[in-house]
Amino acid sequence: MSHEYEQVEVPADGEHITVDENDELVVPDNPVIPIIHGDGIGTDVGPAAQAVLNAAAEATGREINWMRVYAGEAARERYDENLPDDTVEALKEFRVSIKGPLTTPVGAGFRSLNVALRKKLDLYANVRPTYHLDGVPSPVTAPEKMDMVNFRENTEDVYAGIEFEAGTDEVQQVKEFVEEEMGFDSTIHDGPVGIGIKPITEFGTKRLVRRAIEYAIANDRDSVTLVHKGNIMKFTEGAFRDWGYELAEEEFAEETITEDELWDEYDGEAPDDVVVVKDRIADNMLQQLLTRTEQYDVLAMPNLNGDYLSDAAGAQIGGLGIAPGANLGEGRVLAEPVHGSAPKYAGQDKVNPSAMILSGRLMLEQLGWHDAAELVRDAVEAQISSKRVTYDIERQVEGGEKLATSEFADEIVERIHDLA
């Protein structure tokens, strides 16, 4: 039964996205899709993304019925709270949604509104494709070599929020337990100390790695790399690596081989239609992003590693202003750009909406609308290559012409019409 929404309207003409017995999305041609414009520049990039995604859907014979819902500042104005039930229930009921950046205010009751949404919806996989678009300035000499997809575990690791503040009774209890009962003598220095706990579970690891391998198989990718610091954190990140290999052997034995098998049995030449599962130490992986970029396809990693690696990869293709992302659960999708809310630019019709638009492209892919998704990518790339761009790119390219956020989006819409 549909939730009774207090301050938002459900589009009358749209249909629900549902799931089948395998939790796979069943998508009509006229779905209802909730959207959170977000805080700060969300008021600019949200409408811009809607216009572009509308055009791509219509060009392929479909229609998106947008359902505007609220979080952050806009929610406080309407509900006097940051994350109202209306919003959470809409994201649950309609399954696929998109949001702009959110700022968690001091004293909000959440460590992060973004993290709160992921936990409430059990969106356990943060997915960030990283690829270069022609015309985007980059600090590296060959940005086109970057074409990888990062799968970051979203619910565990040090981001689980199990922390104890210096000076509290709780942190002293944890310190005494670690040193006196567990025998880690002199591990923690005297004086004020903050302590965090880092859970990595077999369940959380395997569902993340499963999603990464399934993506690699479905999208004809050559490899999945488990990124970890298991040489030091042997029982957390080392376990992540071991459970990842175990999952590949248990569930994908016919579709995967290990890197050792690649060299021992195939002399380094992988058979067709086989995904190579390998692993790299996290600090070494940061180097290899730069030095051996083209050797990596899909990365799967714990939460903190995924945060670092995704941003580092994004820098190589031009920065977070064009970096898309999405959070995936079982039969659920919440697309969102990687960048923050940049409140000093809010409402100025100035900023680059490409990250929000390309996050929408990722959402279209999850809907199975691959033709519409490719229209979006091709139109954004053509627009950037034309040098008629927003200020952040215009100031870096010779002969550039500066456009407002809305003008940039309008010209992408025109290009979609032309390409279709």
218-246 pLDDT per residue, tens: 999 999 999 999 999 999 999 999 999 99
Q: Among residues 131, 159, 215, 296, which one is catalytic?
A: 159
Nearest partner of 323 among 80, 6, 54, 45, judged by Cα: 45
Q: Does pLDDT of 2 surpass 80?
A: no
pLDDT of 107 reads 53
Residue 103: what pLDDT? 84
- Verify that 275 and 146 share a domain, yes or no: yes
In a domain, 21, yes or no: yes
pLDDT in tens, 14-56: 999 999 998 899 999 999 999 999 999 999 999 999 999 999 9
283 is known as an active-site residue: yes
Task: Answer whether residue 395 shows pLDDT above 90.
Answer: yes
- Select from 321, 363, 285, 378 the least CA-distant residue to 127: 363
Q: What local confidence, expressed as pLDDT, does residue 111 receive?
A: 64
Domain of residue 180 covers 163-196
Catalytic residue, from 279, 307, 350, 392: name it.
Answer: 307
**Domain identity same for 122 and 243:** no
Residue 129 known to bind ligand: no
- The pLDDT value recorded for residue 370 is 96
Cβ–Cβ contacts within 10 Å for residue 263, how many?
Answer: 11
| Judgement on whether residues 334 and 402 belong to the same structural domain of the protein | yes
**Same domain, residue pair 28 and 64:** yes
Same domain? 148 vs 297: yes
Clarify whether residues 116 and 14 are in a common domain: yes
What's the pLDDT tens digit per position in 109-119?
A: 566 788 889 88
| Per-residue pLDDT reduced to its tens digit, 78-96 | 999 999 999 999 999 999 9
Beta bridge partners of 34: 67
Q: Are residues 294 and 334 both part of a single domain? A: no
Catalytic residue flag (residue 229):
yes
What's the rounded Cα separation, in Å, for the pair 233 and 208?
19
Residue 288: pLDDT band with limits 50, 70, 90: very high
> Which residue spans within 315-404 are E strands per DSSP?
326-329, 332-335, 388-389, 401-402
Give the pLDDT score at 124: 96
3-state helix, strand, coil in the chain (%, to 5): 45, 15, 40
Q: Are 127 and 327 within 8 A, CB to CB?
A: yes
Structural domain contains residue 312: no
| Domain-located, residue 253 | yes
92 is in an annotated binding site: no
pLDDT score recorded for residue 190: 85
- Let me know whether 327 and 387 are in one domain: yes
Q: What is the pLDDT of residue 3?
A: 78
Instruction: Check whether 420 is labelled as a binding-site residue.
Output: no
Under the banding of pLDDT at 50, 70 and 90, the label for residue 338 is confident
Whether 126 contacts 325, CB under 8 Å? yes
Average pLDDT in the chain: 93
The tokens of 39 are what? 């805080």
Q: Which of 152, 146, 104, 102 is nearest to 127 (CA)?
A: 152
Question: Tens digits of per-residue pLDDT, 247-257?
Answer: 999 999 999 99
pLDDT in tens, 343-393: 999 999 999 999 999 999 999 999 999 999 999 999 999 999 999 999 999
Token pair recorded at residue 400:
């550039």
From the list 29, 84, 28, 99, the residue with the least C-alpha distance to 334 is 99
In total, the chain counts a number of residues equal to 420
Cα–Cα distance, 108 to 379 (Å, whole number): 39
Q: Please give the Cα distance from 404 to 348 (Å, whole number).
A: 9
Asked whether the beta carbons of 277 and 213 are under 8 A apart, the reply is yes
Contact at 8 Å (CB) between 298 and 113? no
Backbone angles phi, psi at 327, to 5 degrees: -110, 130
Query: Does residue 311 sit within a domain?
Result: no
Q: Is 296 annotated as a binding residue?
A: no
Domain presence at residue 310: no
124 and 167, same structural domain? no
Q: How far apart are CA 42 and CA 45, in angstroms?
A: 5
pLDDT (average), residues 269-282: 95
Q: Is 128 annotated as a binding residue?
A: yes
Cα of 141 vs its chain's centroid, Å: 26
Q: Which residue among the candidates 175, 278, 283, 378 is catalytic per the annotation?
A: 283
Instruction: Please indicate, yes or no, whether residues 236 and 335 belong to a single structural domain of this protein.
Output: no
345 is in an annotated binding site: yes
Q: Do 144 and 184 sit in the same domain of this protein?
A: no
Instruction: Indicate whether 80 belongs to any domain.
Output: yes
270 appears as a binding residue in the annotation: no
Residues 43, 47, 50, 52: what is their CA dihedral angle, to the nearest 10 degrees? -120
Has residue 413 got a pLDDT over 70? Answer: yes
Q: pLDDT for 166-175, tens place per residue?
A: 999 999 999 9
297 is catalytic: no
The answer on 276 and 176 residing in a single domain is no
Looking at the 3D structure of the chain, how many domains does it have?
Answer: 3
